[in-house]
Every structure is written in structure tokens, then in C-alpha cells.
């Protein structure tokens, strides 16, 4: 049934409607319940992202001109008026679209879930929207509900299905964020937008499209608490649904989202996913030939899994409804690799090794031992694969491809595996090693100096910056020492692992440069210390400042983490820390 709620009517209904959606506080879950709800997602590790819309008709070109950025942004980059952009809907007729084929392609690539743009920032619904006629069923010659066809196909082929929904930006609705170019828009509040369009549409997507496993929010904007409450609590319509961290900055969701970049290290005790286009653009862009190699894609999958994350790889169907041959070829090759090696990906957890020069490691832990999967990117020319620091008794080792047993030897430095001359797979050969008992890995890395001090340079830090942004990034200064810089993100944190053989009490000294007084915390050995740091006269003027001290009586592996004090944070540059015994 179609209804076009007038803005005035919606405004009049504002309060009761939000109440209809309920309150996030009513959705209470224990960590164990969340773990159970997300078990399939952690097992899955690998999904397909799809960006598809009426912009796909012209592949991001406007009046024959190429527009900058990703194709789905063309309405904004081209400052295209709504009346003009909406006409692309009349050309959207993807007659070659076949939902079963799409899903089979994902499944054959080893992907276990699919997330597709139900509504992107342009406001166009790729489903039979309850809000109005600006949707694929009513406004296009195609006239079919793509979301329903894909949801059904995923269900029939055993893939989990979810929606991407742009809950704040909407360049078609007068209450959506982002359209500052079309003066025909008579602006209304984002509350009206949430109440009139977002909540009804998302409610429809979560009640008329079968079992929905994922709701993928994007580009959060500052909406009212009522709007957030109304939108947030829709997830109760699909009890098992998983959401990301992009509804609003204070709404953590179930997993962090990194975009286009793989972090050095996964976030601590938080699920996370890296989303990445298989080429350069999310949406189909005619001139986009920047396809990542199959080597890069397979190694990305192993890298992300080795850090404990999921990989959401995006493809961009054309206006005809097909996935480009370059993308299909890569998906097919990933699938060939997965058919042999998926045990080393599905259901695995992160590597117990800080760094492996030859590749990556994933693992599966059991009551009596652990199976380690070594992803060997660089096959040893001498036939000896050295696993530094692996101390466990080796029960057995073999090539995952074909199960050929391998000889192993151990000494004080670790374990050496004798491997065949030729690598089974040119991109990523997996060696399985089963070890007995509790995992024992001696971390190599930063060790204490003879005088008891510990040097923690910027280059050895792990930087956690959200979405792979360039906030808090390592800056190579050529002849000058590297530093962590542009640290504008208050959520970004920096940490070092190090080993103490001489415990004691240590001063934590920062080699730091900052324009304005700032404040941060450091956490080490289970203690968090809040501290202030003084302006040094500029981001290039470094001084040593004592942040505080800590004590320990035990030798072993330690971690120290720096985190902005959000209330008093001003960006700082850090060349590193030094621990000095008192």
C-alpha cells in the first residue's frame, strides 16, 4: 500500500512515532548473548558488499564528464538537482540481473554473507519503498524489488543477507543531510526525515524481506536522541541482527568498521570488519579500472583473518545488472583458493605471533591444543620455514593442500618446518601445525636494554585509527626520527608490546611535540594513569616529558597503550616513549 506522508502530518506524528519504535534501553543483552548472536559472523569471516543504484546507469559520468570520487557520490559531486538526477531512474532497467547468479557468485567465492545498498545517500530505494514512489518498483522500467529477489536467493542458497542503509544523508528528502546545492528543497528537520522516511523504510526492510542478519549503517550525522532511539531500536524487529558502529558516534553497534584500509592490528576485545571495493569505486564507475589483484585480495583475506577481523569485499553491478568480468574473474580465483584452504579462514581467530616475515597465521583453539595455519606468502628458497618463538610440542605438521606430512625441528629460537621446494600455491600456501596443550609463543620484538631502560620508537608502535583513516598515522621524516602525527582522532590509540627481563619501577618518558597543552592516559600492567603534557612550541619542537611511572615485579611480555583524554585532548606528535628504571 502506498502512502505519501505529508511533512506536516509527519511532524504532527513525531512523538508517538518515535515511541512506536521503542527505546534502546529496552534492548539489553549480556556479552555471552552477543557472542552467541554473532557466532555465525565470526565463523563466516568473508562477505560480499554490493553498491548498486540509479547512478550505475551512467557509471558516475555526468553530461559526459567524469566526476571525482566514487560513483555513488555523483549527485553530490556534480551538484545535480533532484529533478535532473531522478531521471536516471527512468533509465534503470537491469534486464541482465539474476539474483540467483549474484548469490552463486558470492557463494562460489567462499563468501558467507551479503550486504547490499537498500538506500544510499541519493535517497533512491532499491526496494518497493512504503515511503513514496522514488524507488525501483515505481520509478523504473525494471519494476522489480531487487532487495526481495536477493534476500530470497540468499535464503535459498544458504547465505546470510543484510542491508546497507544511509540513515542520515539523503539528498532527495528535505530532512536528509548532505544536499546543500538544490535550492528547490524546502528544508525540514532531520527528526521529520527520521520519522517520515528512515523509520518506516527500515521497519519495512526488517519486516517484509525475510530473515535479515545485518543492518549496515553509514555516515552518521548529529541527529536528535529521539531519532537515534527510534532508528536504533528497530533492530529488535530482527532479534539476531548484527549492526555496525556507524549509526551514531555514541552507539557502538556490534562491530567496528574499517574502510579501504586494513589496520596494523585489530581492535582489542571488539569485533571488527574491513570493507573494501574490489576496484577503486564502490558504485559502478565506467572509468574505474583500478581492480586489486587476486594476490592482493587473497592476502588481504588472510591478513584480516590473522588479526581477528572480517572482510567485506565490494562489487559494483552495472546499469544492466551485471558484475564486471574483472570482478567475476577475481571472485572465481578467490573461490578456487578457498575451496582448498577455507579451513584456514572460516572460524579462525587471530595470530598469536606479533609479526611473521613470511606471511600470516590464523588459529583454531581446542580443549587439548591448537591448530595453527601458517599462510606462507614468501616460500622459503632453502626449504626451511622458521616459526620464531613457537615453543609447543608439535603433534603434526602438513600442507593444507593435499595433507602432505612435513618434518619439524625445534630449538631455543623456535620451530623449523622442512617444506617442499615448490610452493603449492603461488599466492598463499597454507601449512597446518597442530600443537599440544596451552599455546606457548615467545614474542620477539622490543626487549629491555642492559641498563634496564626500554626504547619504544614510533616505528614499532601499533596504531589503532578507525576506518584506516590517516588520523594518528606514522609519519616518515626521512633523516629525522619517524613520529606518530596528525593525531586528531580522540578515539585513536597507540600501543607498544615489549619484554621485561629486569622488572622494577619505571618512569614513562614521552618524546613529544605539541602546539597546545594536552592530556592523555597511558595504560600498562593493568594500571591507567591520566596525565597532562605541556605545549612545546610547535609540532616540530620535541621535548621529553615524564608521563608518570609504573612498577612490576614480574619478567615477561608487556603492553603500554597511549589514549587521548577526550575532554582535554589537543593533537600531539610522538616520536616514541622511553621507560627508565627509577
The whole-angstrom separation of Cα 129 and Cα 127 is 6
- Scan for cell 630449538, then name that residue: 411
- Residue 407: other Cβ atoms inside 10 A: 10
Nearby residues of 400 by Cβ (< 8 Å), 6 or more positions away: 340, 341, 343, 344, 373, 430, 431, 432
Residue identified by cell 551512467 is: 58
Shortest distance in whole angstroms from residue 346 CB to ligand FHN: 24
409 binds ligand FHN (CB under 6 A): no
Cβ proximity to ligand FHN: between 282 and 374 the closer is 282
Nearest to 107 by CA among 335, 302, 308: 335
* Choice between 164 and 337, CB closer to ligand FHN: 164
For ligand FHN, the closer CB: 73 or 113: 73
Nearer to ligand FHN, 70 or 432 (CB): 70
CB of 297 to ligand FHN, least distance (A): 17
The residue among 55 and 506 lying less far from ligand FHN, judged by its C-beta, is 55
Measure the CA–CA gap between 183 and 102, rounded to whole angstroms: 39
* Mutual angle of helices 294-306 and 325-341, in 10-degree steps: 50
Min dist CB 259 to ligand FHN, Å, is 5
CB of 229 to ligand FHN, least distance (A): 23
Q: Which is nearer to ligand FHN, 171 or 522 (CB)?
A: 171
Residue whose CB is less far from ligand FHN, 259 or 491: 259
Contact between residue 169 and residue 122 where contact means Cβ atoms under 8 Å apart: no
Taking CB atoms, the residue at the shortest distance from ligand FHN is 282
Q: Does 272 participate in binding ligand FHN (rule CB under 6 A)?
A: no
275 counts as binding ligand FHN under rule CB under 6 A: yes
* Eight-class DSSP state of 357: T
The contact pattern for ligand FHN, residues 179-198, with x = CB under 6 A and - = no contact, is --------------------
DSSP 81-97: -HHHHTTHHHH---TT-
Half-sphere CA count of 121, side-chain side, radius 13 A? 18
Q: What is the secondary structure of 450-467 as a DSSP string?
A: TTS-EEEEGGG-EEE-GG
Cβ 309 vs Cβ 272: under 8 Å: yes
CA distance 304 to 319: 32
β-pairing, 394-399 with 429-436? Answer: antiparallel
Closer by beta carbon to ligand FHN, 9 or else 219: 219
Residue 219, interface with ligand FHN (CB under 6 A)?
yes
- Three-class DSSP category at 10: helix
Rounded-to-integer distance, Cα 222 and Cα 220, Å: 7
Q: How far is the CB of 275 from ligand FHN (least distance, A)?
A: 5
Q: Are strands 573-581 and 462-464 parallel, antiparallel or unpaired?
A: unpaired
Take residue 322 and report the three cell numbers written for it.
551485471
Nearer to ligand FHN, 57 or 461 (CB): 57
Give the separation between CA 436 and CA 112, rounded to whole angstroms. 31
Question: Least distance (Å) from ligand FHN to the CB of residue 317?
Answer: 14
Q: x-or-dash pattern for ligand FHN, window 67-106, by CB under 6 A?
A: ---x-xx---------------------------------
The count of residues interacting with ligand FHN (CB under 6 A) is 8
Rounded CA-CA distance 175/290 in Å is 35
Contact between residue 514 and residue 535 where contact means Cβ atoms under 8 Å apart: yes
Q: How far is the CB of 178 from ligand FHN (least distance, A)?
A: 9
- Which of 163, 550 has the CB closer to ligand FHN? 163
Nearer to ligand FHN, 76 or 484 (CB): 76
Query: Closest separation between CB of residue 234 and ligand FHN, Å?
Result: 20
Q: In whole angstroms, what is the distance from residue 331 CA to residue 454 CA?
A: 46
CB of 219 to ligand FHN, least distance (A): 5
Of positions 170, 201, 218, 471, contacts ligand FHN by CB under 6 A: 218
Contact code string over 222-261 relative to ligand FHN, x by CB under 6 A: -------------------------------------x--
* Contact characters 32-71, ligand FHN, x per CB under 6 A: --------------------------------------x-
- The answer to whether 282 contacts ligand FHN (rule: CB under 6 A) is yes
Nearer to ligand FHN, 72 or 196 (CB): 72
Q: How far is the CB of 71 from ligand FHN (least distance, A)?
A: 9
Minimum CB distance to ligand FHN smaller for 218 or for 482: 218
Phi, psi angles (nearest 5°) of residue 383: 75, 10
How many whole angstroms separate alpha carbon 473 and alpha carbon 467? 12
Q: How many CA atoms lie within 13 A of 543 on its CB side?
A: 11
Cell triple for residue 87?
531521471
Helix then strand count (H, E) for the chain reads 14, 29
Is residue 199 within the footprint of ligand FHN (CB under 6 A)?
no
Shortest separation between residue 471's beta carbon and ligand FHN, angstroms: 14
Q: Select 73 or 379, whichever has its Cβ closest to ligand FHN.
A: 73
Q: Which three cell numbers mark 141?
A: 522500467
Give the residues lining the site for ligand FHN (CB under 6 A). Answer: 70, 72-73, 218-219, 259, 275, 282
Amino acid at each position: 500500500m502506498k502512502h505519501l506522508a505529508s511533512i506536516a502530518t509527519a511532524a504532527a506524528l513525531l512523538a508517538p512515532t518515535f515511541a512506536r519504535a521503542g527505546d534502546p534501553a529496552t534492548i539489553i543483552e549480556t556479552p555471552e548473548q552477543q557472542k552467541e548472536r554473532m557466532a555465525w559472523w565470526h565463523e563466516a569471516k568473508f562477505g560480499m558488499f554490493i553498491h548498486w543504484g540509479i547512478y550505475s546507469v551512467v557509471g558516475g559520468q555526468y553530461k559526459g564528464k567524469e566526476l571525482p570520487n566514487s560513483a555513488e557520490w555523483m549527485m553530490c559531486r556534480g551538484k545535480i538537482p533532484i529533478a535532473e538526477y531522478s531521471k536516471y531512474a527512468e533509465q534503470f532497467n537491469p534486464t541482465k540481473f539474476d539474483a540467483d547468479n549474484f548469490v552463486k557468485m558470492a557463494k562460489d567465492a567462499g563468501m558467507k554473507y551479503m550486504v547490499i545498498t537498500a538506500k544510499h545517500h541519493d535517497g533512491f530505494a532499491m526496494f518497493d519503498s512504503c515511503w513514496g514512489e522514488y524507488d525501483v518498483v515505481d520509478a523504473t522500467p525494471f519494476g522489480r524489488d531487487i532487495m526481495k529477489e536477493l534476500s530470497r536467493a540468499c535464503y535459498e542458497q544458504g547465505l546470510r543477507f543484510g542491508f546497507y542503509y544511509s540513515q542520515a544523508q539523503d539528498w532527495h528528502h528535505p530532512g536528509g543531510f548532505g544536499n546543500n546545492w538544490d535550492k528547490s528543497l524546502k528544508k525540514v528537520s532531520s527528526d521529520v526525515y527520521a520519522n517520515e522516511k528512515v523509520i518506516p523504510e527500515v521497519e519495512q526492510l526488517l519486516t517484509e524481506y525475510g530473515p535479515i542478519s545485518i543492518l549496515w549503517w553509514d555516515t552518521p550525522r548529529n541527529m536528535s536522541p529521539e531519532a537515534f532511539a527510534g532508528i536504533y531500536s528497530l533492530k529488535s524487529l530482527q532479534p539476531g541482527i548484527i549492526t555496525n558502529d556507524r549509526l551514531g558516534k555514541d552507539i557502538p553497534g556490534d562491530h567496528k568498521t574499517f574502510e579501504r584500509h586494513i589496520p596494523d592490528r585489530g581492535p582489542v576485545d571488539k569485533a571488527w570488519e574491513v570493507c573494501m571495493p574490489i576496484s577503486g569505486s564502490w558504485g559502478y564507475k565506467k572509468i574505474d579500472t583500478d581492480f586489486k589483484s587476486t594476490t592482493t585480495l587473497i592476502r588481504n583475506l588472510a591478513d584480516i583473518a590473522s588479526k581477528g577481523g572480517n572482510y567485506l569485499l565490494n562489487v559494483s553491478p552495472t546499469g544492466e545488472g551485471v558484475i564486471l568480468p574483472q570482478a567475476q574473474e577475481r571472485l572465481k580465483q578467490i573461490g578456487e583458493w578457498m575451496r582448498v584452504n577455507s579451513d584456514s579462514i572460516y572460524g579462525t581467530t587471530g595470530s598469536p605471533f606479533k609479526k611473521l616475515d613470511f606471511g600470516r597465521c590464523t588459529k583454531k583453539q581446542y580443549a587439548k591444543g591448537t591448530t595453527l595455519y601458517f599462510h606462507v606468502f614468501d616460500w622459503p628458497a632453502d626449504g626451511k620455514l622458521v616459526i620464531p618463538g613457537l615453543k609447543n610440542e608439535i603433534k603434526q605438521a602438513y600442507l593444507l593442500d593435499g595433507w602432505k606430512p612435513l618434518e619439524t625441528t625445534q630449538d631455543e629460537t623456535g620451530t623449523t618446518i622442512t617444506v617442499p621446494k615448490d610452493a603449492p600455491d603461488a599466492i598463499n600456501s597454507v601449512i597446518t601445525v597442530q600443537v599440544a596443550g596451552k599455546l606457548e609463543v615467545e614474542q620477539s620484538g622490543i626487549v629491555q636494554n642492559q641498563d634496564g631502560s626500554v626504547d619504544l620508537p614510533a616505528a614499532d608502535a601499533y596504531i589503532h585509527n578507525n576506518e584506516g583513516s590517516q588520523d594518528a598515522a606514522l609519519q616518515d621524516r626521512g633523516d629525522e626520527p619517524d613520529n606518530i602525527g596528525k593525531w586528531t582522532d580522540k578515539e585513536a590509540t597507540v600501543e607498544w608490546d615489549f619484554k621485561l627481563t629486569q622488572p622494577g619501577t619505571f618512569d614513562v618518558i614521552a618524546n613529544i611535540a605539541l602546539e597546545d597543552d594536552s592530556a592523555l592516559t597511558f595504560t600498562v600492567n593493568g594500571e591507567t594513569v591520566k596525565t597532562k603534557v605541556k605545549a612545546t612550541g610547535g609540532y616540530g619542537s620535541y621535548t621529553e616529558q615524564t608521563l608518570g611511572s609504573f612498577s612490576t615485579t614480574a619478567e615477561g611480555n608487556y603492553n603500554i597503550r597511549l589514549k587521548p583524554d577526550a575532554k582535554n585532548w589537543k593533537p600531539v606528535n610522538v616520536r616514541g616513549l622511553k621507560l627508565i628504571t627509577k
